[in-house]
Structure 1
Amino acid sequence: MLPPVLIVSITIVAIEVIVGFTGNGFIAIINSINWIKNKTISSADMILIFLSTSRCILQVTIVIHIHSLYFTDVTKLASVYKAFGAVWMFVNHASLWFSTWLYVLYCVKIINFNQRLLLQIKLRISGMVPWLLLGSLVVSSMTSFPLLWITPSTYLCSSTGNCRENSTEHITNWDSSHLYLLLLYFTGCFIPLVLSVVTSALLIDSLWKHTKKMQCYKNSLRDPLVDVHLTAIKSIISFLVLYLSGFAAQILLTLSTSQSKDVWKVAVSLVIAGAYPSVHSIILILVNSKLKSEFRTFSRYFNPGKLLCLITLG
């Protein structure tokens, strides 16, 4: 029987997964339909398709992780556990890269650069996006698939179900394999996180300078560029806060097992890790005028009250 706090946390995670699947699925479907309908797609929408798809897969891995810790012995097989760990690491890193490229794109398109190199990037960024996405998948595979060649010490079980969780070998291997896992995790996260921080700093600096410049003019109308900057900055900051908190939660979960005595730590980590891909999908919809409009239409069309009336009348 699971402790009550874990039952509550798993229930919250289940709600987060439903919200995340709805939000990320909505983003992927709307942009894919527009791509097919218009025969073309913007760079931002292409990144959003990759990002939302990876987020859906990421939430599946969160559910599997909970299942492996508390509900089944299936993933205690070494080969299955290694495969799951590699997939989780791959989609985690890929999702982070996709988010980073989205905000780099915002930064390049919004900020006016004077340097020749940056101007060339600004002009060519749209054509670079498909290659950046492909490169992200390659880099993510390089920082995740090495997990297939390490021993998953958390679950030292054979195919017959014989486990050695209380052995000295278990403790020794736990140290080596988990340190290797954390090293790969940090390696895959470092560059995109630095790019995200730099991008947000550039946007904030640009907004500050632009706001001071606009104060020199006696214009009662709000400059639309300020709103664009503010929207981009809010989106980036929310992403950084969510990811950094989720990053810490994922590390705590990596160091946790089903035998963990700190139930509260595991419970809170599960909720935070599940919140990152879900809440950020909602933010992406709210800051994107096209997605926001489509979601309002979707909500009106699938209004639960109207649906209930139709069922009753039928």
Structure 2
Amino acid sequence: MSSLFSSFCLVIAIFESVVGLLGNGTIVAVSSTSCIRSKILSSYDVIVIFLSLSRFFLQLWMILDFLLIFFCQPSYYEENLFVTFKTVFIFLNSYSFWFAAWLSVFYCVKVASFTQSFLSWLKQRIASLIPWMLITSSLFSFATSLPFFWDSYNAHSNFTTPLTMTNSSKRITTRKTNLIFLILLCNVGIALPSIMLVFSSILLIRSLWRHTRQMQNNATGFRDPSLEALIGAIKTVFSFLLLYITNFIALILILSDTFVPLSTEEAICVVVVAACPAGQSMVLIWSNPRFRELLSSILHYVNSCVRARCS
């Protein structure tokens, strides 16, 4: 690593990814168990399972990536490992971004009240559109990440062969053009679901806030559980949206090669990219009693084991 601070940030990012693994694993376990017991696969469970699975594998991949950077840095950048890891990283990030957007759209369609005909139509048919959401997300993520692998692999092969001065200049110019195209492609692959999520979240917060104001005007002075639930829902959606936007900005800075590799600025972005998916999984857990109960049981069991060994 280039500095002690970068090494410290890498350790923090690994810890955050482990927390994300625990959180997303909890969500997948609870949702899958619920579907098996009820023998009903709801639209919400499908979206949440695929979102949590994509983030589980994303953060598992990030942990492996961080460990290779930490212990095998020279070979990591000299071989094709860097190309493979970054391509899979782009695919998993794009996939998780899409399903986070679908979850926000699902909440918006199911919870918010609309008068527009399209949104009313979408509300009635959201369940039948789930398979198309899966296919679209997979194809779009694959189409976004594959060109990066192909171009980076060719670039690695080209730089290992001797070139004349003229050919070298042309190849460097072509490489820069391809790099700009790849950055734009990756950004579009993340920007489209981000626009969907921001738009649907704003609509949902607006609808919930309007309903909250109506309930406050009709309140009798006692604590209303329904009102508190609405306020909690607004906080949950806003927290999810804030983490998503923060993750989006940090990821764009990393993919655009804005900072020098392993610099302090890039290390901070890596910490943010590792923290936001873990934070979003915690937001989902604390907003859902099913997820919260299992996580509390796991933490209680771990705490009991630690106390038993220490005593």
Under TM normalisation by the shorter chain, which class is it?
0.7 to 0.9
Task: Indicate whether 1:296 and 2:296 are aligned.
Answer: yes
Question: Where in structure 2 are the equivalents of 1:212-231 lying within 5 Å?
Answer: 212-222=213-223, 224-231=225-232
Contact 2:6 2:262 in 1 (8 A): no
Is the 2:35–2:41 Cα contact (8 Å) retained in structure 1?
yes
CA distance in 1, matches of 2:228, 2:105: 18
Q: Is the 8 A contact 1:86 1:144 kept in 2?
A: yes
Q: Tell me if structure 1 keeps the 8 A contact 2:187–2:252.
A: no
Q: Superposition pairs for residues 1-314 of structure 1, below 5 Å?
A: 2-66=2-66, 71-76=72-77, 80-151=81-152, 156=156, 172=173, 175-222=176-223, 224-256=225-257, 260=260, 263-300=263-300, 302-304=301-303, 306-308=304-306, 310-311=308-309
- Post-superposition Cα deviations, 1:248-301, rounded to whole Å, max 9, x if no partner, equal 3223333559x938822122112111111111111111111221122223333x
Distance 1:171 1:298, change over 3 A: same
Long gaps (5+) in structure 2: none
- CA distance in structure 1 between the aligned counterparts of 2:262 and 2:81, rounded to whole angstroms: 26
Q: Which stretch of the first structure deviates more once superposed, 58-67 or 11-20?
A: 58-67
CA distance in 2, matches of 1:78, 1:169: 24
Alignment partners' CA distance in 1, 2:144 and 2:93: 10
Output the CA distance in 2 between the equivalents of 1:22 and 1:16: 10
Change (3 A) 1:218 1:237: closer
- Greater Cα offset, 115-124 or 8-17: 115-124
Q: CA deviation at 1:223?
A: 5.2
Q: Which has the higher helix share?
A: 2
- The amino acid across from 2:22 in the alignment is T
How far 1:123 moved relative to its partner? 2.1
TM-score, structure 1 normalization: 0.83
RMSD: 3.3
How far residue 75 of structure 1 moved from its aligned partner, in angstroms, is: 4.2
- How many positions carry a matched residue from both structures? 306
Helix, strand or coil at the partner of 2:73: coil
Counterpart Cα distance in 1 of 2:203 and 2:9: 38
1 CA distance for matches of 2:170 and 2:3? 29
Identity across aligned pairs (percent)? 32
TM-score by length of 2: 0.83
> Given that residues 203 and 229 in structure 1 are in contact (C-alpha distance below 8 angstroms), is that contact kept between their aligned partners in structure 2?
no
Q: Compare 46-55 and 29-38 and name the one that shifted more.
A: 29-38
- Cα–Cα, structure 1 residues 132 and 223, in superposed 2: closer, same or farther, change >3 Å? farther
The amino acid that maps onto 2:98 is W
1:28-53: CA deviation from partner (whole Å, max 9, x where unpaired): 12211222222223222221111111
CA distance in 1 between partners of 2:261 and 2:139 (Å):
38
Deviations 1:92-120 (A, max 9, x none): 11101101111111111111223343223
**Does the 8 A contact of 2:16 with 2:278 survive in 1?**
yes
CA distance in 1, matches of 2:116, 2:225: 25
CA spacing shift, 1:168–1:310, aligned 2, 3 Å: same
User: Which segment drifts farther, 214-223 or 291-300?
Assistant: 214-223
